[in-house]
Amino acid sequence: MFILTTIGLLISTVFLSFGLSLGGSFLAPREINSTRGGMVLGANEYQPDNIIQGGDFNEAITKVFEDVKFLSLSQIPQFNQIEQELPQIQEKDELPTRIINFDLAAENGVILDSQSNNLFFSKRPDRAWPLASITKLFTAYTFLDHNPGWETIYEIKTEDRREGGKIYLFTGDKVKIKDLFYFSLVGSDNTATAALANSTGMTEEEFIVKINNKIEEFGLKNTKIVDVAGLKEGNVSTAREIAQFADVALEVPEINRAVLTEKYEFTTEQGRKKVIYSTDKLLNNFSEQDISILGGKTGHIDASGYNLVSKFMDQEGRTITTVILGADSEASRFILTQELVELYYNNRP
C-alpha cells in the first residue's frame, strides 16, 4: 500500500508538472499560493529531487519508477494482523500462578495473604453481607482515638442497654472503661459496646459518624456502619474488606490483647463480680501445629448467619487473615476457618 501510494503521488506530480508547463487547466503556482482557503495540503509543498518540467511522458514515467526502486522494503511500515493475545485483566482475588479449587460451605469467604495483600482464596469476596458483631472491631478501633482513660469509671445508663445475647451489665453498674472494652471484644457484650461508645462523651450517632470516617480513611467502599454493636442488618461489608480491615486492627496491641483473652473477670465499684468467656472457640481449640492464632472476632444475627474473622501466623512469620460469612452453625464457622488455614499453609506459594 505504501509503494502504491508513493507511485500515485509521483505520477500525480508528473501530470501536474505537464499541466503547468503546457498551460493546461491546472492553477498556476501564483494562483495556488493565493488560494489558501481551498488549498490541498502538500500539493505545492512536495518537490521531488528531479522534478519534470516537460519532455516526453514516457521518460517521465520511467523516472518515477527509478525514484521508487530506491525505496527499501525495510523502510515500509508493516501492517500485519495482530497475532499475540491482549493482556488479560486479572481479578484482585486471583493469584497469577495458582488456581485453588475448594468448596467452602459458607456464603462468602476469603484468605488474605498479609504479605502481598492479595487474596489467596475467595468465594464471593465482594458481596455485601451483614457484619453482625464483627462490627465491634470497628467500634473498638475507633474508640481508641477517643478513650477517656482506661481507669475512668463509667455508670451504665438506660440508653446503653441492648437486647440480644446474655445480659452481663445492668443500669447503675459502675465499671472501668477497660472492663467495657474487654467485655465488648471478649464476650461480644452489646451493652458494654454501647456504653464504650457513650463513654467518649459523644452520642451513639456522633460516634457512628467517627466509625464511618475511619472506614473511609481505610478506603473501604463497600462497608457501612449504622449501629455500634452490630445488631442491625444495615451494618454491612464484604469478605475482602473485612479481611483488609481486620488484618490491621488485630495488630493493634490493645485490641490484640483483648481478642486473645479466653476469660475476663472484674468487680464493679459496687462489689458485683462479672465474668465473661470468649465467643471465639478457636482460642482453646485450634490444633494446627507450628501455626499461632493472632485473634479474631465472631458475629451472628439472623440475617448474617454465623460470621468469623481470624488472623494466623506460622513459624516463618507468614500471616493470613481469614473470613467466614454466612456459615450455617456456630460450630461450622470454626471448622471452616481451620480448613482455610490448612488450605493456605499446605498450598502456600
Query: For 200-252, how does the pLDDT look when each residue is reduced to its tens digit (9 = 90+)?
Result: 999 999 999 999 999 999 999 999 999 999 999 999 999 999 999 999 999 99
Question: How many angstroms separate the CA atoms of 325 and 304, rounded?
Answer: 7
Same domain, 188 and 293: yes
Q: What domain count does the chain have?
A: 2
Contact by Cβ (8 Å): 342, 288: yes
On the question of pLDDT at 7 being above 50, the answer is no
- Three cell numbers at 282? 478457636
For 35-46, b/e burial (b = at least 16 CB within 10 A) is: eeeeeeeeeeee
Of residues 82 and 217, which shows the higher confidence score?
A: 217
Question: How many angstroms separate the CA atoms of 120 and 117, rounded?
Answer: 9
Same domain, 195 and 270: yes
Same domain, 181 and 234: yes
Query: Is the backbone of residue 55 left (phi > 0), alpha (psi -120 to 50) or beta?
Result: left
Domain holding 10, by residue range, is 2-75
Mean pLDDT of 196-200: 98
- Residue 135's pLDDT is 98
**Is 80 within a domain?**
no
On the question of pLDDT at 8 being above 50, the answer is no
**Is 99 within a domain?**
no
Same domain, 148 and 202: yes
**pTM, 2 dp:** 0.72
Q: What is the CA radius of gyration of the chain?
A: 37
**Is 81 within a domain?**
no
- Residue 100's pLDDT is 66
Task: With cut-offs at 50, 70 and 90, classify the pLDDT of residue 93.
Answer: very low
**Is 94 within a domain?**
no
On the question of pLDDT at 302 being above 50, the answer is yes
Mean pLDDT of 29-45: 32
How far apart, in Å, are the Cα atoms of 183 and each of 38, 40, 206, 281?
Answer: 85, 84, 22, 16
Side chain identity, residue 230: G
- Residue 166's pLDDT is 82
Question: How many angstroms separate the CA atoms of 103 and 101, rounded?
Answer: 7
